[in-house]
Amino acid sequence: MPLGSSCLGRQIRSVELVPGDVYEVSDPSLTQLPCDSLLLAGDCIVNESMLTGESVPVSKIPATNESLGTLDLKLSTIPPKAARHFLFSGTRIIRARRPHDGKDDEAVALAIVARTGFNTTKGALVRSMLFPKPSGFKFYTDAFRYISVMGGVAGVGFVASFVNFVRLKLAWHLIVVRALDLITIVVPPALPATLTIGTNFALSRFSDLLDQSSTLLPGAAHERDPTVDYSVHKAVLYTMASCHSLRTVDSDLMGDPLDLKMFDFTSWSFKEGSQDPFSVQTEELRHQDHSMVHPPAGSEFDPEAMDEFGTAAIQLSIIRGFEFVSQLRRASVVTWQSGSLDANIYVKGAPECMKAICKPESFPLDYEDLLDFYTHRGFRVIACATKAVSSAWADIQKMEREQAESGLDFIGFIIFENKLKPATAGTIEELGQAGIRQVMCTGDNILTAISVARECSLIDRTAHCFVAHIAEGTFALLRSSRWTDPNLR
């Protein structure tokens, strides 16, 4: 198969691939990745639900020297900085695009083989299923204890019966048969089959419960208020419209469900460009088309922004971006509006992380009170911040994340209402009645988690919950902690 204008390739079977081989990812016949690879050119959107269980599409961009420095193929896990360039074996390709650098019309998306077979991440998963580590379940332990006790009782009965039958001078074959009858009565042969059937039935019921309760919240519900003057909250609106990682696949938007709900609320339109905003772009790519967002019909113009022809049309070009990182708990984009001389940085993330990157004077006096008000009622709260930068194109592309996400002005909260699924409370109650321990794992605000836990009866509505506040100390001072009751704030 052709790999570009300067080299030719050939078609081989995927089992013949070895580390170091370069293959074409943008081949239309390739729908599933055959091995662990590093993306060299082009960009991809893949579905990694086979590995992670999350059906959210993941974007992949070409590897950089910085990301390669963090990669160690001897380890089974891939560091986060390298994961956005790493193509995992077995994941499904949703879209693969050729590089758009304007130099080579025959360029294709390329990847280099890193690991194959059982050395891949998928292979390690399959190997762990074929050769699982020994694990003991309390159910099986109790079952064997029961059988052992009953076997002991049967053994005592066998000895007593044998002695009694010998004393009665019965025939030897009759003594053996009658004594063994006692063992089959005490420990019935059908017991293992009964235990197996009961276990399978319990697992099937438990699987149905997991399907109902794996996600407690169906999604963010919203209603657009036509009486609100959205021009007053223009910066928040621009954040909602541009600060996301959505992609277009077959004319449909795909991405994180929260980003989809947020963008859908704005009623704006998204046009994906040929350049990925989350990768650094060279000067040659400056004039290539970028991803853009623009408002719906009837709201195309901004009366506050004027250009040489009069009122300027609102059109935000996303020229740089920093993806969401779980450790930082935020994401950001750099946008440029048509007719404007400056670029704007929009950041959204957890409210707890905003104080470290925003100017103290930009926070309202009731910041904590507002946050407590919404989180206590179970709402999901996303904080927004922004700042204008007058840097040149090259400076923006060289800008580090720490520089972009500093000195910001806090502009407001985005509030999402998460409603419980109808079957959630009943499912959790049934799990509790079965004696199964229930634990909530969430990245939301702790007060939101407590509110949802009370609503679904994971904890009693009248129970006191205490939140731990752990402060790091120096070598001279040990780490200190304090406990607070959120209901008393």
Please identify every residue annotated as catalytic: 211
Longest dimension (CA), the chain: 121
The length of the chain in residues reads 489
Joined together, the tokens standing for residue 240 give 């909602």
Closest CA to 274 of 284, 293, 289, 292: 289
Q: Which residues pair with 382 in a beta bridge?
A: 414
* 317: exposed, middle or buried (Cβ count in 10 Å: 0-12, 13-18, 19+): buried
Which stretch of DSSP H or E encloses residue 363? none
Of 243, 404, 411, nearest in space to 323 by CA? 243
How far, in whole angstroms, is CA 380 from its chain's centroid?
17
What's at 360, amino acid-wise?
Answer: P
Q: How far is CA 92 from CA 46, 123, 158, 251, 300, in A?
A: 6, 16, 62, 19, 38
How far is the C-alpha of 363 from the C-alpha of 293, rounded, in Å?
28
Per-residue CA distances from 131 to 44, 126, 181, 325 (Å)? 33, 9, 39, 34
Q: Which residues of 451-463 are buried (b: 16+ CB within 10 A; e: fewer)?
A: bbbbbbebeeeee
Cα 438 to Cα 450: distance, rounded to the nearest angstrom = 14
CA dihedral 46, 52, 55, 60 (to 10 degrees): -20
Report in angstroms the alpha-carbon separations of 442 from 255, 380, 439, 448: 20, 12, 10, 10
Rounded Cα gap, residues 231 and 323, in angstroms: 27
- First and final C-alpha spacing in the chain: 67
Instruction: Determine the Cα–Cα distance for residues 81 and 74; give it in Å rounded to an integer.
Output: 16
In this structure, is the dihedral angle defined by the CA atoms of residues 325, 256, 108 and 76, taken in order, positive or negative? positive
Cα–Cα nearest to 346, from 232, 236, 431, 436: 236
Kindly write down the DSSP assignment for every residue of 304-347, as one continuous string: EEEETTEEEEP-EEEEEEEEEETTTTEEEEEEEETT-SSEEEEE
